[in-house]
A and B are shown apart, each in its own frame.
Chain A
Amino acid sequence: MHISEGVLSPAVLGAGAALTAMGTAVGLRKLDYDRLMTVAMLSAAFLVASLVHVPVGFSSVHLMLNGLLGVLLGFAAFPAILAALALQALLFQYGGLTILGVNTFCMAFSGVLAGYCFKAVARICPGPKGQKAAAFCGGALGVALAGLFTASALAFSDEGFVTTAQLLFLAHLPVMLLEGIITMFMTSFIARVRPEMLHWR
């Protein structure tokens, strides 16, 4: 998911940074210091969860969980993902400085949209089954949109990257299903153990 430094054009990098700055400003405005602690802790938990590899066939994939973060935090997912990605760049060299804006926007905005999708589906189909369906849609949409945004960033950088962008998006499709399933089980678990977390934002 993380695009390396030196790949995208300066225009795309600038646009990503500006959109992330706007999203982060909106997210931070909605948070007071009491809620910031919870966002920081969830951000750290997501950073740890993103390192977990889930077995799929002969290989394994790592989770993104941006959809679930969008469900739990709404627009506060922007600063949470920005902090987590900055830390990830510092600790593991996944991503980097100039690419931070684009990577954050791709993951956070798709997470925010996935959160709205979760709310809409849960409202249309109330009850535990509706909530499971909503969580699956939210998790899957988070990955699908993140893949789409990342592929678009590549395609807009240079016309030579269009095929690479298409391949990158196609690679996200199986992960999308897995992420939907894991998000569904996680949401179901949280709804049973700590239901107020789902209505925290």
Chain B
Amino acid sequence: MFDQPFVHDCPIQAIDPRVRLVLAGLIAVCFASLQQPTSCMLALALGACLLASACPPFIPLARRFAAVNCFVLFFWCVIPFTVPGETFTVFNLIPVSARGVRLALLTTLKANAVFFVFQALAATMQPSTAGYALQSLGCPHKLIFLFLFTGRYVHLLAEEWQTLNVAAHLRGFMPRTSMHAWRTLACLLGLLLVRSYNRSLRVCEAMRLRAFSGRFTTVTVFRARHVDAVFALVVLLCITGIALTESGVFYG
């Protein structure tokens, strides 16, 4: 249910996770402010290059791509027909506005560009690696604790939910649109919450018995190397190029 098909040996794994996270944030902020189709196309090209270096497996990538573009498709179904402005063309007697098409196009390009970058730089690391990288970048300890333990127990609770589901099916439960089915489903979800609450109390006591003081000590040590600096420099140069294209420097 929560497997990570993007975490495997690939060139991008050689880069320090902290550098990857900082660059992913920086690129996402930069791409979010783009307003020109040319610079958005360049952003998409940069995203595609980074994604290629992550060698993503095709089927999981296609699934995630579809999830992102569902929202984008909703935009294409509404915005070109509802945004006022100069008519671009007429579709089934409904005028399609040029500004609406431009807005939907910009949204599509930016959403996919940021998606590519995120898949390449962030989705290629385990939640625990991301947690430790965020910790060494100065995130609050309590938030990291929350992130790491949520990531640790989400798999166990997903298994617990599947067990409950199988037990309900074995007793003849069929999910339908009825008050009885909703009540049964709610009771199963309630049971999941109660079990997770009980488990949290047990884990907390066990950790206290082992003298846990609230601070994690980890054997994972991040070291920035020359290759990280070169990678960061190349990406920063690309972002600068995109920003200059956006500001119209290359058009004179």
Contacts and interface: CB of A to CB of B under 8 A. Distances in A.
Please say whether chains A and B are actual partners in one complex: yes
Interface in B1-15: 1-2, 4
A108 interface: no
20 contacts: A2-B71, A5-B32, A5-B118, A7-B71, A7-B75, A10-B33, A33-B214, A37-B149, A37-B204, A42-B200, A47-B154, A49-B192, A80-B150, A89-B122, A93-B118, A93-B119, A160-B79, A161-B79, A185-B187, A186-B193
A24 B157 CA distance: 24
Interface in A62-94: 63, 65, 72, 79-80, 82-84, 86-87, 89-94
Contact of A160 (B68, B103, B140): B103
A181 B153 contact: no
Contacts of A160: 79, 82-83, 99-100, 103
Contact of A38 (B186, B187, B200, B213): B200
Contacts of B24: 97
Contacts of A86: 147
Contacts of A5: 28, 31-32, 68, 110-111, 114-115, 118
B25 A56 contact: no
Contact of B64 (A63, A82, A93, A98): A93
A41 B199 contact: yes
B194 A193 contact: yes
A96 interface: yes
Contacts of B123: 90, 93
Given A33-B145, A40-B150, 16 more contacts: A5-B118, A6-B114, A7-B110, A7-B111, A36-B146, A37-B201, A40-B153, A45-B157, A47-B157, A49-B161, A83-B147, A92-B64, A94-B67, A97-B24, A97-B28, A193-B191
Contact of B177 (A8, A57, A72, A185): A57
Given A36-B142, A87-B150, A197 B189 contact: no
Given A4-B71, A45-B192, A96-B114, A90 B150 contact: no
B194 A190 contact: yes
A189 B28 contact: no
Interface in A1-55: 2-8, 10, 13, 24, 28, 31, 33-34, 36-45, 47-49, 51-52, 54-55
Contacts of B57: none
Interface residues of A, number: 72
B143 A194 contact: no
Interface residues of B, number: 86
Contacts of A96: 28, 114-115, 118
Contacts, number: 238
A93 B72 CA distance: 14
Contacts of B74: 164
B127 A90 contact: yes
Contacts of B72: 4
A86 B212 CA distance: 25
B152 to A, nearest CB: 8
Contact of B79 (A34, A90, A164): A164
Given A48-B192, A87-B154, A185-B182, A43 B146 contact: yes
Nearest to A164: B78
Interface string A125-141: 00000000000000000
Contacts of B122: 89-90, 97
A48 B157 contact: yes
A18 to B, nearest CB: 14
